[in-house]
């Protein structure tokens, strides 16, 4: 990874010095070994802080939203999951391709900084520090799907059958059992909205959950409002979620959001596919549920 860090620094310095980009998004080292932060470099000097290591886990495509207004050109580093996020933003008309210079890195998998912190402080036992983050144990696209330059050697998908089995287990429940499962799961939600903030697909300028007039969803932590939050979120993600796993990674109470996202992706693929969100960039491409076809399924969805 050291070699990749050096190459990214060289590319970022060149682009910033030549004025090809105004900002370059990458990562820098934080105060602890397990803390690697996103960095917005604005000069070749800033670019010297860039690192790419096993904790460069944040999906940088989400940080592009801070620059969507205006005309600045942005360079950034993307792993496989981040690159799918770029396609999400291009399809959602949040960015135009000509404003981006994309440096792709074939990703060997990252470690979870939160887990590392808990292990270091003794809060978590029975987990090895060198284990991959959960999202990286279920990654079908470790290699960037869109880029201007590509670094690193091609990686094999890292997909465990565990999540598929969990989705099937929920599908096989009776409606009452399933309702009970989700009721219990979402009762833990503290409505911190970290999952929304970390999500590249949550890119509406005014979020329904922030609106006060009318207030569509109450702000209390109770069964109805929590279920409503997760139901609306699921509908907004159907056919749009790029399965980057960031929502689940940042959830402070370990709600298994990727189970729901996987079920949504599975159903959209079966009913309206073949389709996987954010794996191929096409000019004017749209998510599966944003287009209508006479052949679309009329069968039950979700
Ligand atoms: S989800 Fe895939 S591409 Fe993203 S950090 Fe993990 S292994 Fe890398
Ligand atoms: S991050 Fe977790 S606790 Fe926070 S709103 Fe999302 S699901 Fe709820
Ligand atoms: S819902 Fe979760 S997995 Fe899907 S794009 Fe958003 S953060 Fe990534």
* Choice among 92-101, 161-170, 290-299 with the minimum mean pLDDT: 290-299
Residues 184-221: pLDDT tens digits?
Answer: 999 999 999 999 999 999 999 999 898 888 888 888 88
76 DSSP β-pair partners:
25, 102
Distance, CA 41 to ligand 3 centroid (Å)? 25
Using an 8 Å Cβ cutoff, are 120 and 34 in contact? yes
CB of 208 within 8 A of CB of 241?
A: no
The DSSP code for 132 is P
DSSP character string of 27-92: EEE-SSTT-EEEEEE-SHHHHTTB---TT--S-GGGGGGGG-SS---EEEEE-HHHHHHHHHHHHT
- Residue 266 pLDDT > 50: yes
Residue nearest to atom 2 of ligand 3 (CA): 247
Determine the distance separating the centroid of ligand 2 and the alpha carbon of 47, expressed in angstroms. 34
Contact between 263 and 302 under an 8 Å Cβ cutoff? The reply is: yes
Which residue CA neighbors atom 2 of ligand 2 most closely?
251
Length of the chain: 302
**56 confidence band (pLDDT: 50, 70, 90):** very high
More confident residue, 214 or 66: 66
Calpha distance 238→277 (Å, rounded) = 9
Pairing of strands 74-78, 23-29: parallel
| Closest listed residue to residue 193, CA positions, set 253, 275, 235 | 253
- Listed by start position, the domains of the chain span 2-159, 162-290
Q: 290 vs 243, which has greater pLDDT?
A: 243
**Coil, strand or helix at 229:** helix
Which tokens hold the place of 173? 């429940």
Q: What is the rounded average pLDDT of the residues 225-252?
A: 95
For 225-238, what is each residue's pLDDT tens digit?
999 999 999 999 99
Q: Whose C-alpha lies nearest to ligand 2, atom 1?
A: 251
Which whole-number Å values give the CA distances from 121 to 67, 111, 255, in the listed order? Answer: 36, 16, 22
Q: Is the CB of 12 under 6 A from ligand 2?
A: no
**Per-residue pLDDT reduced to its tens digit, 112-166:** 998 888 888 888 776 776 688 999 999 999 999 999 999 999 999 988 788 889 9
The answer on pLDDT for 302 being more than 50 is no
pLDDT more than 90, % of the chain = 76
CA distances from 85 to 60, 70, 159, 201 (A): 9, 20, 19, 7
């Amino acid at each position: 990874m050291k070699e990749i860090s050096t190459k990214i620094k060289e590319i970022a310095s060149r682009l910033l010095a030549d004025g090809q980009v105004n900002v370059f998004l990458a990562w820098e080292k934080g105060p602890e070994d397990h803390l690697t932060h996103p960095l917005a470099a604005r000069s070749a000097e800033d670019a010297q802080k860039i690192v790419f290591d096993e904790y460069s886990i944040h999906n940088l495509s989400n940080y592009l939203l801070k620059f969507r207004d205006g005309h600045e050109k942005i360079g950034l580093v993307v792993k496989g999951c981040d690159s799918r996020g770029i396609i999400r933003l291009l399809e959602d008309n949040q960015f135009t391709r000509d404003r981006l210079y994309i440096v792709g890195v074939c990703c060997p998998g990252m470690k979870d900084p939160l887990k590392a912190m808990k292990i270091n402080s003794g809060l978590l036992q029975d987990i090895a520090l060198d284990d991959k983050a959960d999202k990286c144990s279920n990654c079908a696209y470790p290699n960037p799907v869109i880029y201007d330059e590509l670094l690193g050697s091609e990686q094999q998908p890292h997909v465990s059958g565990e999540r598929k089995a969990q989705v099937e287990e929920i599908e096989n429940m009776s409606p009452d059992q399933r309702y009970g499962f989700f009721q219990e799961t979402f009762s833990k939600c503290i409505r911190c909205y970290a999952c929304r903030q970390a999500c590249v697909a949550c890119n509406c300028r005014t979020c329904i959950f922030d609106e006060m007039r009318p207030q569509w969803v109450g702000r209390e932590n109770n069964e109805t409002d929590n279920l409503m939050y997760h139901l609306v979120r699921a509908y907004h993600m159907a056919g749009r979620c790029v399965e980057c796993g960031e929502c689940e990674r940042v959830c402070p109470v370990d709600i298994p959001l990727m189970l729901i996202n996987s079920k949504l992706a599975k159903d959209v693929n079966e009913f309206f596919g073949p389709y996987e969100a954010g794996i191929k960039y096409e000019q004017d491409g749209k998510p599966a549920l944003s287009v209508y076809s006479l052949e679309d399924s009329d069968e039950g969805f979700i």
